[in-house]
Amino acid sequence: MEINEARFVISNSDARRCPTPTLPEYAFIGRSNVGKSSLINMLCNHSHLAKVSGTPGKTQLINHFLINKNWYLVDLPGYGYAKVGKRLKATFTTIINHYLTQRSNLQCLFILIDSRLAPQKIDLEFMREMGKKQIPFTLIFTKADKLKPQALQDNIKHYADVMLQEWEEMPHFFISSSSHKTGKEEILQYIDELNAN
Ligand code: GDP
């Protein structure tokens, strides 16, 4: 699949104000600065659809984009940025939880993980929550260009080892680099296949 048209629909902080759930939907989430905006822009062939910023925690709302008039791509707020106050963090969590539990058309949540880092507690906890809520998710290891191939493989192997301590299997995952434009075809094909089901 190639994205020919990505149209911004609505930005809001209330799951009830999201578009009528008549089309399949795919949401993207991750720690602030993980490379979510860059990935969304890469997928959509757009240089500034999602705002790429050096200031973590900037995307604060649920952003809906209509893709090829056929499905919704949703940019969710980044989580875990230390400089956001406790109250704002709690508000984000509530917004995300409402969205994730109420969106009947959500096909898959893509959780972005920085491929350079060892498994982070906050990501593992978030996945645990998704498991409890039975929300299907897929991982995307971002910024793969920042590591040599062997170091990348070692990090992912380590990630899988940690995941397998509490999950029966490693979730489906993709490896991406927005700088080198890799991972795009695979992720879009995956969405295409889910849309076809
Ligand atoms: P967000 O906060 O998760 O939306 O992250 P951004 O997309 O704004 O990216 C945060 C920073 O990481 C920016 O400086 C990006 O240029 C950089 N970045 C994002 N993706 C990549 C990537 O694939 N490779 C490299 N080398 N840098 C990236």
Q: Does 40 sit in the ligand 1 pocket, CB within 6 Å?
A: no
CATH number where 90 lies:
3.40.50.300
At 133-164, the pLDDT tens digits run 999 999 999 999 999 999 999 999 999 999 99
Give the predicted TM-score (pTM) of the model: 0.94
Q: Does 31 sit in the ligand 1 pocket, CB within 6 Å?
A: no
Please tell me the total count of domains within the chain. 1
Q: Does 34 sit in the ligand 1 pocket, CB within 6 Å?
A: yes
Q: Does 78 sit in the ligand 1 pocket, CB within 6 Å?
A: yes
Question: What pLDDT, on a 0 to 100 scale, did the predictor assign at position 191?
Answer: 97
CA of residue 137 to ligand 1 center, whole Å: 21
In a domain, 1, yes or no: no
Which residue's CA is the closest to the ligand 1 atom numbered 18? 35
ipTM reported for the complex, 2 dp? 0.99
Positive/negative CA dihedral, 119, 122, 42, 54:
negative
CA of residue 20 to ligand 1 center, whole Å: 31
At 64-121, the pLDDT tens digits run 999 999 999 999 988 776 666 777 778 778 888 999 999 999 999 999 999 999 999 9
Which residue's CA is the closest to the ligand 1 atom numbered 27? 143
pLDDT-based confidence at residue 47 (cuts at 50, 70, 90): confident
CA of residue 168 to ligand 1 center, whole Å: 31
At 181-197, the pLDDT tens digits run 999 999 999 999 999 98
Which atom of ligand 1 lies at the shortest distance from residue 34's CA? 3
